[in-house]
């Protein structure tokens, strides 16, 4: 199996080193990761200017490239630019959760959306802030659980979040956003201040509540943003 690895924390990030070690147990690994920190860049791509794609020996004998752009561009360069073929895209291991409505901002998950749009099954791994131990211990278990449950047959993307402690796994859906921003406006500058919104409803069908109560969440995602509930049965059959 050919595996493309990327992230949004940058090619030197701790979580990516753990991901490389894990992915090498699954197959042949190639890394295209951002040169610099790209968290919360979502699914943005660069279409106006050239950017550097440079071979790196940071992971020893693993083929790796530093890309001076976004996580989505890392996937695009690998597949569209370098014409490489992959069976799986894995993004992470992110330093911090990617849960609920905050998924929309995630560069980690956006790389998976890009992979899926280009026809490759994609997997995102995210850990608790500055706490990779539980994630590293359970990467293999989460991957095997995805296979066991047949999630790849039902989804193009699986978003996995690991709590700081806890090993029970649940298949979940997106919950509400767990963070927001307040802003301090001063001297023509707007400074965002992250605010936690999580109130703990303990609905374990939601990724937010599952992870916040010590469960590993496996959330199937899709890149098609159509609101199918707004379509009539006849409209859903068009095409």
Q: Determine, yes or no, domain membership for 144.
A: yes
Contact 80, 47 (CB under 8 A): no
- Say what the pLDDT of residue 225 is: 78
Can you tell me the distance from the alpha carbon of 84 to that of 166, in angstroms, rounded to the nearest whole number?
Answer: 37
Can you tell me the distance from the alpha carbon of 53 to that of 78, in angstroms, rounded to the nearest whole number?
Answer: 10
Q: Determine, yes or no, domain membership for 48.
A: yes
Number of structural domains found in the chain: 1
Helix orientation angle between 133-148 and 14-23, rounded to the nearest 10 degrees: 40
Phi-psi sector, 34: left (phi>0), alpha (psi -120 to 50), beta: beta
Q: Higher model confidence: residue 170 or residue 200?
A: 170
Q: CB-side exposure of 213: number of CA atoms within 13 Å?
A: 15
Which pLDDT band, with edges at 50, 70 and 90, does 214 fall under? very high
- Say what the pLDDT of residue 186 is: 84
pLDDT digits (tens, 9 = 90+) for 69-102: 999 999 999 999 999 999 999 999 999 999 998 8
pLDDT digits (tens, 9 = 90+) for 116-128: 999 999 999 999 9
| pLDDT > 80? residue 237 | no
User: Which residues fall within 8 angstroms of residue 56, CB to CB, at 6 or more apart?
Assistant: 11, 31, 64, 65, 66
| pLDDT > 70? residue 230 | yes
Place of tokens 């905050």: 102
48 burial (CB, 10 Å; 0-12 / 13-18 / 19+) is: exposed
Q: Determine, yes or no, domain membership for 191.
A: no
99 burial (CB, 10 Å; 0-12 / 13-18 / 19+) is: buried
- Say what the pLDDT of residue 199 is: 63
User: What does the mean pLDDT of the chain come to?
Assistant: 92
Nearest to 205 by CA among 223, 220, 227: 220
Record the tokens describing residue 5, joined without a space.
């690895």
Q: Determine, yes or no, domain membership for 232.
A: no
- Say what the pLDDT of residue 223 is: 85
Q: Number of H helices and number of E strands within the chain?
A: 7, 11
Beta bridge partners of 218: 160, 171
pTM, to two decimals: 0.92
Alpha helices in 97-161 (DSSP H): 107-117, 133-148, 151-154
Q: Determine, yes or no, domain membership for 239.
A: no
Can you tell me the distance from the alpha carbon of 219 to that of 156, in angstroms, rounded to the nearest whole number?
Answer: 11
Range of the domain at 86: 2-175+202-224
Q: Determine, yes or no, domain membership for 154.
A: yes
Q: Determine, yes or no, domain membership for 17.
A: yes
CATH code of the domain covering residue 69: 3.40.1210.10
Q: Determine, yes or no, domain membership for 51.
A: yes
């Amino acid at each position: 199996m050919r595996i493309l690895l990327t992230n949004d924390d940058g090619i030197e990030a701790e979580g990516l080193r753990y991901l490389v070690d894990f992915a090498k147990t699954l197959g042949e690994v190639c890394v295209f990761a951002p040169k610099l920190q790209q968290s919360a860049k979502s699914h943005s791509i660069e279409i106006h200017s050239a950017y550097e794609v440079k071979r790196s020996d940071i992971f020893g004998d693993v083929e790796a490239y530093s890309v001076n752009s976004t996580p989505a561009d890392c996937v695009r360069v690998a597949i569209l630019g370098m014409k490489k073929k992959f069976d799986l895209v894995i993004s992470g291991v992110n330093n911090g959760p990617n849960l609920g409505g905050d998924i929309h901002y995630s560069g980690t998950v956006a790389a998976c959306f890009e992979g899926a749009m280009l026809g490759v099954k994609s997997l995102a791994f995210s850990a608790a802030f500055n706490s990779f131990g539980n994630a590293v211990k359970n990467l293999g278990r989460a991957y095997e659980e995805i296979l066991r449950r047949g999630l790849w047959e039902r989804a193009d993307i699986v978003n996995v979040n690991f709590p700081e402690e806890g090993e029970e796994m649940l298949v979940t859906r997106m919950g509400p956003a767990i963070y927001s921003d307040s802003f301090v406006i001063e001297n023509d500058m707007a400074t965002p201040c992250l605010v936690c919104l999580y109130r703990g409803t303990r609905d374990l069908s939601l990724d937010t509540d599952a992870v916040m109560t010590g469960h590993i969440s496996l959330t199937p995602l899709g890149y098609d943003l159509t609101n199918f509930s707004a379509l009539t049965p006849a409209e859903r059959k068009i095409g």
